[in-house]
C-alpha cells in the first residue's frame, strides 16, 4: 500500500492541470506545513525564526513547468530579489534552484543567461547557490551546466542522488572541480534501468558516496531524515577525523524539526531547506510521497477544517 501511495503522489506531482489549480487556490490542505508561504517576505520571517534557533537555511522559489523564455526570466528575477533580500537582512541563508525553472528545457542559452544573472547577484551578496537535481532525463544536462558554471563561479554547488546507478561515477568525475555537493537519496520515480529499486541498495549507495566525497576532502551536505544515515555520517567523520566545518546535515522545512534542533545542540551544522512561492503543488506532492506520516498529517488538517 505504501508503494502504491508513493507512485500515486509522484504521478500527481507531474499533473499540469492540478498545478494550475493549486496556484489559483493557494496553500491549503496542509501544504503550509512544508512551504513557508507564497512570498519572499513570508519566507524571510520563517528564515529569521530558524536562524534564531541556530539553524542555517537554504531557500527555494518554487517553480515547475516553465515553458517560455519570459517565464524563465521572471523566475530568475524573483530569485535575484530573494538573493538581495538575504544580503540586506544579513540572513544565514543560501539559495537553491531548479534549472528547469531557469529555462533548461527551452535552451542552454536561456538557462545560462539566467544563471549568470543569478550568480552575479549572489556573488555581490555573498550567497551560495545550489543547483538542485531533477529527474534522470535532466541529470547529465544539469551536471554539464554545473561544470561550465563552476569554472566561472566559486559559490555554486549541485546535488547528487544516491538512488541512481551513475552517482558513484559522477562523484569521481566531479572531484577535479572540488565541488560543494548536497547528497540525497532521490525523490523522483525512476525506472529500474537507471535507479536502484530497493531501499537497502539506495541506502548502501548513499553511504558509499558520502564516504567518497568526504574523503576526497570536499564540502558535503548530507540531506536526510534517516537516523541510520545520520549516525553513519557521525561515525565516519569521527573515524577519519573529518572537521565539522567540512560537512553539514540538511533537512526539509516542516519535517522532523525536533531532530534538527537536536543536531544543532550536538554541535553539528544543520541547514533547513525552505521552499516558498505559488507554484508549490509538485513539491508538496513529492513530500506526501516520501512518508505516509505526511499524508496522515494532511488528512487530519483537512478534517479539522
Catalytic residues: 132, 182
Distance (Å, rounded) from C-alpha 247 to C-alpha 211? 11
Residues 6+ apart with CB under 8 A from 61: 40, 75, 78, 79, 82, 97, 101, 275, 276, 277
Residues 6+ apart with CB under 8 A from 300: none
The answer to whether the beta carbons of residues 10 and 188 sit under 8 Å apart is yes
Q: How far is CA 44 from CA 47, 50, 94, 214, in A?
A: 5, 10, 12, 32
Distance (Å, rounded) from C-alpha 33 to C-alpha 37? 9
The answer to whether the beta carbons of residues 146 and 159 sit under 8 Å apart is no
Amino acid at each position: 500500500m505504501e508503494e502504491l501511495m508513493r507512485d500515486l503522489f509522484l504521478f500527481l506531482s507531474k499533473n499540469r492541470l492540478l498545478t494550475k489549480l493549486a496556484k489559483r487556490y493557494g496553500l491549503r490542505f496542509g501544504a503550509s506545513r512544508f512551504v513557508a508561504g507564497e512570498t519572499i517576505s513570508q519566507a524571510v520571517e520563517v528564515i529569521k525564526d530558524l536562524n534564531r534557533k541556530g539553524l542555517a537555511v537554504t531557500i527555494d522559489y518554487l517553480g515547475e513547468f516553465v515553458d517560455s523564455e519570459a517565464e524563465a526570466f521572471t523566475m530568475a528575477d524573483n530569485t535575484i530579489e530573494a538573493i538581495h533580500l538575504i544580503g540586506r537582512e544579513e540572513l544565514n541563508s543560501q539559495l537553491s534552484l531548479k534549472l528547469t525553472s531557469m529555462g533548461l528545457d527551452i535552451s542552454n542559452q536561456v538557462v545560462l543567461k539566467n544563471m549568470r544573472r543569478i550568480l552575479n547577484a549572489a556573488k555581490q551578496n555573498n550567497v551560495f547557490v545550489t543547483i538542485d537535481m531533477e529527474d534522470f532525463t535532466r541529470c547529465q544536462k544539469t551536471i554539464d551546466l554545473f561544470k561550465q558554471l563552476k569554472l566561472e563561479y566559486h559559490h555554486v554547488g549541485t546535488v547528487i542522488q544516491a538512488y541512481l546507478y551513475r552517482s558513484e561515477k559522477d562523484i569521481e568525475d566531479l572531484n577535479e572541480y572540488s565541488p560543494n555537493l548536497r547528497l540525497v537519496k532521490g525523490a523522483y520515480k525512476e525506472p529500474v534501468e537507471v535507479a536502484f529499486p530497493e531501499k537497502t541498495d539506495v541506502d548502501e549507495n548513499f553511504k558509499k558516496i558520502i564516504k567518497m566525497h568526504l574523503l576526497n576532502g570536499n564540502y558535503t551536505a548530507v540531506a536526510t531524515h534517516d537516523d541510520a544515515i545520520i549516525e553513519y555520517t557521525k561515525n565516519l567523520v569521527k573515524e577519519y577525523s573529518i572537521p565539522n566545518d567540512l560537512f553539514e546535515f540538511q533537512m526539509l522545512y516542516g519535517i522532523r524539526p525536533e531532530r534538527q534542533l537536536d543536531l544543532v545542540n550536538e554541535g553539528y551544522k544543520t541547514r533547513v531547506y525552505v521552499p516558498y512561492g505559488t507554484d508549490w503543488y509538485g513539491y508538496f506532492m513529492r513530500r506526501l510521497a516520501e512518508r505516509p506520516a505526511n499524508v496522515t498529517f494532511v488528512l487530519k488538517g483537512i478534517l479539522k477544517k
